[in-house]
């Protein structure tokens, strides 16, 4: 066996979709393997003292190994766990979250549920595709694993079928029209309606500019869809929202409802509560909370999202929501301590800035609910809040991204007595 080919046994899952293995004093991060499996791997790189590898031959398979549904799996970098039974995927994600908490000096409450999907396919309502040209044909696809090379795709079973069909339609339209210099395609579909929000990035065209001819031809190829450039509707729990391409939206609509129910249950807003919603986006959580709380102050850095949050509050006739623009740490400096009883925060993957956590501790709300899409930064920030006088009361793991390594977690914290 060559130096690039090694026989290893998988040990445990790591955040990033690989399995940790050791052999001959070396540490390997092995993709497309499962814990407990004996696999022959090919070393494809090295990062620091860790060898990056991919399983090329399974010598002893796990009983949890299944055939991947997607023909592009193993080449496309979008999915990482399609070869694992879904119940096993949920176990691995819980372990990854628990490991992150442990490294931060915390313990994931043992009763924390892992909330998966009944049908963990076709769940994405937003997809961003990269353009690739080959032999005069324009296609859209995703980056290969750990590569900048784009793999054209014909199907993607984690996306809504309408997005899959629309991506193929835009590729055909671009080919027929002789378009060159396309870079990316962002598609967002209405979960309960026919609208399809689209945005194309092209070299030489200013960001946000549209290509009416391209869209018109694509629309002819998907006549059951209504192609929209400005915004689409998002509806749930009797609320209506407008969503734009340049604002965040949870890509898994079905699990978004599961996540938001966890947030609502943990926050338990009452009619006397003034609530802060930090990193609030277009106001989805803020408006849900506002129906039960005295008021909600939503803080968001993206000015487009702030305007949409205010619009969404008016659409839903909720006059107890205030949308404030700016960086969270800067806006919080102007808020009086003790005013807000409860805070919900859902920051981007990088987590909170230290200054934002310091301001939260200064404000001293009675309870916090922290939502995160990154276990490491979530655990890091929770540990800082615990050191500042809070205790973790509840937690849950929500699988927003089946077949991938990505995972959402949510934690409820209470201020310790006497703080």
Active site residues: 373
CA 206 – CA 195 distance, rounded (Å) = 24
The residues near 111 (Cβ < 8 Å, ≥ 6 apart) are none
Largest CA distance in the chain: 70
Q: Are strands 12-14 and 50-60 parallel, antiparallel or unpaired?
A: unpaired
Query: Token pair of 174, please?
Result: 């671009």
Buried b (16+ CB within 10 A) or exposed e, 282-296: bbbbbbbbbbebebb
Tokens of 320: 């107890």
Task: Give the strand pairing for 274-278 and 342-345.
Answer: parallel
Q: State the Rg of the chain over Cα.
A: 23
The tokens for 38 are 């004996």
Q: What is the DSSP string of 16-55?
A: TTEEEEEETTEEEEEET--TT-EEEEEEEEEETTEEEEEE
Residue 209: how many CB atoms within 10 A of its CB? Answer: 11
């Amino acid at each position: 066996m060559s130096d690039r080919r090694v026989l290893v046994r998988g040990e445990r899952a790591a955040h990033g979709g690989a399995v940790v293995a050791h052999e001959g004093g070396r540490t390997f991060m092995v993709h497309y393997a499962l814990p407990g499996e004996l696999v022959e791997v090919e070393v494809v790189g090295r990062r620091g003292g860790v060898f990056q590898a991919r399983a090329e031959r399974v010598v002893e398979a796990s009983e949890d190994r299944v055939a991947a549904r997607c023909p592009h799996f193993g080449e496309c970098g979008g999915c990482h766990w399609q070869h694992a039974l879904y119940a096993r995927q949920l176990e691995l994600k819980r372990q990854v979250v628990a490991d992150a908490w442990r490294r931060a000096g915390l313990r994931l409450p043992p009763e924390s549920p892992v909330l998966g999907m009944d049908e963990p396919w076709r769940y994405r309502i937003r997809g961003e595709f990269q353009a690739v040209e080959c032999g005069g044909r324009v296609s859209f696809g995703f980056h290969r694993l750990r590569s900048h090379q784009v793999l054209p795709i014909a199907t993607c079973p984690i996306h809504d079928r309408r997005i899959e069909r629309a991506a193929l339609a835009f590729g055909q339209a671009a080919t027929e029209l002789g378009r060159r210099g396309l870079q990316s395609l962002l598609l967002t579909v209405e979960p309960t309606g026919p609208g399809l929000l689209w945005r194309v990035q092209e070299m030489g065209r200013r960001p946000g500019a549209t290509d009416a001819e391209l869209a018109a031809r694509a629309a002819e190829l998907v006549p059951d869809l209504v192609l929209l450039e400005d915004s689409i509707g998002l509806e749930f729990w009797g609320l209506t929202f407008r969503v734009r391409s340049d604002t965040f939206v949870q890509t898994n609509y079905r699990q978004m409802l599961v996540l938001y129910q966890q947030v609502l249950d943990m926050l338990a807003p009452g009619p006397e509560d003034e609530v802060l919603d930090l990193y609030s986006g277009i106001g989805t959580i803020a408006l849900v909370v506002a129906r039960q709380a005295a008021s909600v102050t939503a803080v968001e850095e993206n000015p487009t999202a702030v305007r949409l949050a205010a619009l969404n509050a008016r659409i839903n006739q909720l006059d107890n929501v205030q949308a404030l623009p700016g960086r969270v740490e800067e806006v919080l400096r102007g808020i009086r301590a003790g005013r807000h009883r409860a805070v919900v925060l859902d920051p981007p993957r990088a987590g909170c800035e230290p200054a934002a956590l310091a301001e939260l501790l200064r404000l001293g709300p009675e309870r916090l609910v922290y939502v995160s899409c990154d276990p490491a930064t979530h655990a890091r920030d929770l540990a800082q809040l615990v050191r500042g006088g809070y205790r973790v009361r509840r937690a849950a793991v929500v699988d927003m991204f089946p077949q991938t390594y990505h995972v959402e977690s949510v934690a409820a914290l209470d201020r310790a007595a006497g703080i």
